Amino acid sequence: MSDTDPDTGPQGTRADWITDRVLRGLIWAALRLPLRTRLWLVAGLVKRVIAPLAGYRKRAMANLAHVFPDMPPAEQRRIADAVADNAGRTLIENYDVHGLRDRMADVPLSGPGVAEIEKARAEGRPVLFVTGHFGNFEAPRAALVARGYEIGGLYRPMSNAFFNDHYAQNMHALSGPVFEQGRRGTMGLLRHIKDGGMGVLLFDVYDSAGVPIDFMDQPAPTLTSAADIALRTGALMVPFFGTRQADGISFEAWFDAPVPHGDPVEMMRAATQALEARVRERPEQWFWIHRRWKPRRQEKRQRKRAAARTSP
């Protein structure tokens, strides 16, 4: 059932429209609370209500069991609940992009990549930052924007068209240009980087067209898009991470040394290893809710390939 004329706004079902209005109301109300209360409230809502009902806790525990088969269920649940807590905090933080920017203004930029980034900025050389769904991936970007950097990126559109309408607007609010994920968006980001700009690309999402690269000792199909863009534009490819600190509010903004240019698969392997090191150190801050490995689908695809090779 279409709820909106195609020429006047997003299309979706009546249920999508209602869901969007409820979420908008919750976000509006939460943003009017003090920061600490806001983060605690939304984190608790996601952890105690949304994650169990939506099956996110179960999925996170299944992913943990896939990677750590000897991990006790109690520990799986502890990490899964902490993941939901972090997801709730990240959600509401990223709906207050200017507040996040202001909070990150005084956070030191750490890591061996900082000097390289500053040098690239002075020389007008493009930089492509790569990261995963760890901590709050917008925190390092906000720290740079607070220092006068302009950093574009890609975003994954929401399935609810009504919610995506204001979600996309919010993504543009911190810094731009920001492009919708897909072929057109990737080409837009490529042009932006090629013109000497800076951008962010998250690479830790399953894509059947990707190359299997081990992540947490398990093969995970990974696109080489980030490496391809860096090679085509001459951009520095710098892994960065916003690690949430023990208070649940502040962050470390860490920038690894640039990944050396070379074979695209090896470049993505290096980026994956940088993310993996963070996840092993702080597993509760990575988004285990993602279907990152899809082992059954991978096995099915491998069987099809093997059958095709042996068929006359």
Question: Once rounded to an integer, what is the mean pLDDT over residues 280-309?
Answer: 83
Which among 204, 210, 170, 189 is positioned nearest to 127, based on CA atoms? 189
User: pLDDT (tens digit, 9 = 90+) per residue, 143-174?
Assistant: 999 999 999 888 777 777 887 777 777 777 77
Q: How far apart are CA 100 and CA 137, in angstroms?
A: 12
Q: Which two tokens stand for residue 43?
A: 């984190």
**pLDDT value of position 143:** 97
Measured CA to CA, the distance from residue 253 to residue 244 in angstroms comes to: 9
Q: What CA–CA distance (Å, rounded) separates 48 from 132?
A: 25
Q: Render pLDDT for 122-134 as a digit per residue (tens, 0 to 9).
A: 999 999 999 999 9
Q: Residue 236's closest CA among 204, 205, 200, 269? A: 200
| Average per-residue pLDDT for the chain | 90
Categorize the per-residue pLDDT at 6 as very low, low, confident or very high, splitting at 50, 70 and 90.
Answer: very low
User: Which stretches does DSSP call E strand in 116-217?
Assistant: 127-131, 151-155, 178-180, 198-202, 211-215
pLDDT of residue 310: 67
Distance CA 90, CA 85 (A): 9
Lowest mean pLDDT of 11-20, 25-34, 144-153, 234-243, name the range.
11-20
Select the more confidently predicted residue: 271 or 176.
Answer: 271
Find out whether 138 and 104 touch, Cβ atoms under 8 Å. Answer: no
Strand runs labelled E in 54-177: 109-110, 127-131, 151-155
Asked if residue 31 has pLDDT above 70, the reply is yes
Residue range 44-71: mean pLDDT, rounded: 95
pLDDT for 3 equals 37
Q: What is the mean pLDDT of residues 13-30?
A: 85
